[in-house]
């Protein structure tokens, strides 16, 4: 336009610019270049995806005869999936199997195989669990008292006791029964998880008071059906060489101090049917130290298990005077696991149960012990003996 204006004589209006004739060559070239770039980018993206191992789905489309407008519904043939046996609950299925079941053909570069990823099948939440029995929620407000330290169990207004309401239900049977109590639960996260998830709910778990996340662990254990005990540190004869830890009940301690320590321990978590000693030979052999402690346990509707390690124990006599149900283990393993082999302990427990209708044993919660108990219980039914929660052996002694 500027050139034409200069070339026009003065006084003469320049001609109006007309539309260009034809289609400019440069626009054609620009369109060709853009189209080429688009094709190149698309090809590059496909090749990049294939190099990355991403699958490309190809759905074959079949050409058919002309169809009237009213019936023109797109027809895409679906390849029938190859029948595959369903994986059992909790099993892992391969990615190739999942692709086969879906009926989608997957094309990979150079005929590659399905990736090593797998699909985890989550069991149906409504499916009934085997060997698990969820217990009543805890704490139950009817049998709970709040103090500044936390929550304590108590006997309800209707006379209901924690040892009854927090117990695992057990079907009456005339078969000999063995109560197996795992001790030291809650100290090791790994063995605690194994004890809760791998052992049947008929095994009783005794939690130490010094573990982490005790409330959550106990809740999980009760949800899986395990009856719960709380271990109480008590003074041994060689104290302080052997020290059960803070808040230990002392044989020479003032009654008020021992009860305060007992309350601190009892507020660590809720949902237990009773208490059991951790060490404590000196306290269990001293009636004047033991009686006020047992009075408090009885008043709160609990039971007490003595681990059987103290020959001079007066727990049975003091329990009778205080109306506290006291049980004594027939056999006990050393907490370090260095005493008699567990196989010997289990054989002795079976003989006792056959003879007197029931037996109680305490076993440290160690990985090897848990594995041995799993194998032992699987074979126990052949000998007509059952594992029972601790509360189920009360009064189960044969005449």
**Rounded to an integer, what is the distance from CA 260 to the centroid of its chain?**
33
Q: Does the structure show a pLDDT above 80 at 60?
A: no
Yes or no: say if 155 and 143 are a contact pair by the CB < 8 Å rule: yes
Tell me the pLDDT band of 105, cut-offs 50, 70 and 90.
Answer: very low
Mean pLDDT value across the chain: 79
What's the confidence (pLDDT) of residue 364? 95
The whole-angstrom separation of Cα 239 and Cα 369 is 28
By mean pLDDT, which of 163-177, 312-326, 335-349, 373-387 is the weakest? 335-349
* Side-chain-facing half-sphere of 340: CA atoms under 13 Å: 14
Tell me the pLDDT band of 62, cut-offs 50, 70 and 90.
Answer: very low
Q: Does the structure show a pLDDT above 60 at 89?
A: no
By mean pLDDT, which of 3-17, 118-132, 213-227, 306-320 is the weakest? 118-132
Q: How confident is the model over 237-266, as a mean pLDDT?
A: 96
What's the confidence (pLDDT) of residue 133? 73
What's the confidence (pLDDT) of residue 212? 86
Q: Does the structure show a pLDDT above 80 at 395?
A: no
Considering 16-25, 59-68, 353-362, the range whose residues carry the highest mean pLDDT is 353-362
What's the confidence (pLDDT) of residue 338? 62
The whole-angstrom separation of Cα 260 and Cα 123 is 46
Q: Does the structure show a pLDDT above 50 at 398?
A: no
Q: What are 343-388's pLDDT values in tens digits?
A: 999 999 999 999 999 999 999 999 999 999 999 999 998 999 999 9
| % of the chain residues with pLDDT over 70 | 66
What's the confidence (pLDDT) of residue 44? 63
The whole-angstrom separation of Cα 132 and Cα 294 is 32
Q: Are strands 274-279 and 303-306 parallel, antiparallel or unpaired?
A: parallel
The whole-angstrom separation of Cα 199 and Cα 197 is 6
Of 395, 392, 398, 396, nearest in space to 180 by CA: 392
Q: Which CATH topology does 141-170+177-393 take? A: TIM Barrel (3.20.20)
Q: Does the structure show a pLDDT above 50 at 278?
A: yes
By mean pLDDT, which of 121-135, 217-231, 342-356 is the weakest? 121-135
Q: Does the structure show a pLDDT above 50 at 63?
A: no
Tell me the pLDDT band of 26, cut-offs 50, 70 and 90.
Answer: low
| % of the chain residues with pLDDT over 90 | 60
Q: Where are the domains of the chain?
A: 141-170+177-393
What's the confidence (pLDDT) of residue 25? 61
What's the confidence (pLDDT) of residue 93? 42
Cβ-proximal residues to 310 (8 Å cutoff; 6+ apart), any chain: 280, 281, 284, 285
Of 391, 344, 395, 398, nearest in space to 372 by CA: 344
Q: Does the structure show a pLDDT above 60 at 267?
A: yes
What's the confidence (pLDDT) of residue 42? 64
By mean pLDDT, which of 28-32, 72-76, 134-138, 149-153 is the weakest? 72-76
What's the confidence (pLDDT) of residue 127? 33
What's the confidence (pLDDT) of residue 345? 95
Q: Does the structure show a pLDDT above 80 at 6?
A: no
**Rounded to an integer, what is the distance from CA 333 to the centroid of its chain?**
27
Q: How confident is the model over 4-27, as a mean pLDDT?
A: 51
Higher pLDDT, 273 or 64: 273
Yes or no: say if 235 and 244 are a contact pair by the CB < 8 Å rule: yes
By mean pLDDT, which of 30-34, 312-316, 342-346, 379-383 is the weakest? 30-34
What's the confidence (pLDDT) of residue 377? 96
Looking up tokens 């985890």 gives 120
**Rounded to an integer, what is the distance from CA 323 to the centroid of its chain?**
37
Q: What are 186-210's pLDDT values in tens digits?
A: 999 999 999 999 999 999 999 999 9
Q: What is residue 328's three-state secondary structure?
A: strand
Beta bridge partners of 368: none
């Amino acid at each position: 336009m500027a050139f034409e204006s200069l070339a026009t004589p003065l006084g003469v209006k320049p001609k109006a610019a007309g539309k260009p004739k034809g289609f400019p060559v440069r626009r054609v070239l620009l369109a060709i270049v853009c189209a080429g770039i688009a094709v190149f980018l698309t090809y590059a993206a496909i090749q990049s995806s294939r190099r990355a191992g991403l699958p490309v789905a190809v759905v074959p489309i079949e050409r058919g005869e002309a169809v009237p407008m009213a019936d023109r519904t797109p027809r895409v043939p679906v390849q029938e999936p190859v029948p595959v046996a369903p994986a059992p609950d909790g099993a892992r299925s391969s990615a190739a199997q999942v692709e086969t079941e879906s009926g989608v053909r997957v094309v990979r570069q150079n005929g590659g195989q399905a990736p090593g990823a797998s699909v985890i099948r989550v069991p149906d939440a409504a499916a009934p669990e085997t060997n698990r029995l969820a217990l009543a929620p805890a704490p139950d407000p009817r049998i709970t008292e709040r103090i500044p330290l936390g929550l304590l169990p108590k006997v309800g207004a209707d006379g209901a006791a924690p040892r009854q309401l927090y117990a695992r239900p057990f079907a009456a049977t005339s078969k000999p029964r063995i109560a197996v109590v795992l001790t030291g639960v809650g100290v090791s996260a790994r063995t605690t998880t194994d004890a809760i998830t791998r052992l049947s709910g008929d095994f009783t778990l005794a939690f130490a008071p010094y573990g982490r996340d005790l409330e959550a662990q106990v809740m999980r254990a009760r949800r899986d059906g395990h009856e719960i005990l709380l271990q109480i540190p008590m003074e041994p004869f060689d104290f302080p060489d052997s020290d059960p830890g803070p808040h230990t009940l002392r044989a020479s301690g003032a009654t008020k101090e021992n009860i305060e320590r007992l309350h601190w321990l009892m507020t660590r978590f809720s949902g237990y049917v009773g208490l059991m000693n951790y060490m404590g030979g000196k306290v269990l052999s001293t009636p004047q130290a033991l009686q006020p402690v047992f009075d408090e346990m009885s008043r709160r509707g609990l039971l007490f298990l003595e681990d059987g390690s103290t020959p001079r124990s007066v727990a049975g006599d003091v329990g009778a005077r205080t109306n506290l149900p006291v049980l004594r283990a027939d056999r006990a393993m050393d907490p370090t696991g260095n005493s008699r082999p567990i196989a010997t302990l289990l054989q002795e427990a079976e003989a006792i149960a056959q003879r007197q209708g029931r037996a109680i044993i305490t076993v440290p919660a160690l990985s090897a012990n848990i594995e041995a108990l799993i194998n032992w219980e699987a074979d126990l039914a052949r000998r007509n003996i059952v594992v029972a929660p601790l509360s189920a052996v009360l009064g189960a002694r044969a005449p």
